[in-house]
Amino acid sequence: MANKIIEVQNIKVNIANINNNDYICISDFTKFKDGKSASDDIIRNWLEIESL
């Protein structure tokens, strides 16, 4: 199955379907911030919150 793309607050987000499970590309959500370090910080913070 081909990847799908949805739009969330004017940002295109890829969705991959693997073994009937949908996975979003979390790095796509960081595109609203400028610069790679800002994107890295968003993902790092999100992962830290999820591990609590």
pLDDT in tens, 1-52: 578 999 988 889 999 999 999 998 888 877 777 666 677 888 888 788 766 5
What is the predicted pLDDT for the residue at 4?
92
Contact present, 15 and 4 (Cβ < 8 Å): yes
Q: Which residue segment(s) compose the domain that 8 sits in?
A: 4-50
What is the predicted pLDDT for the residue at 34?
67
Dihedral sign for Cα 22, 31, 9, 5, please: negative
Q: What is the number of domains present in the chain?
A: 1
Cα separation, 39 vs 51, whole angstroms: 19
pTM: 0.59
Contact present, 6 and 13 (Cβ < 8 Å): yes
What is the predicted pLDDT for the residue at 45?
84
What is the predicted pLDDT for the residue at 36?
63
Q: Look up tokens 């940002």; give the residue.
A: 11
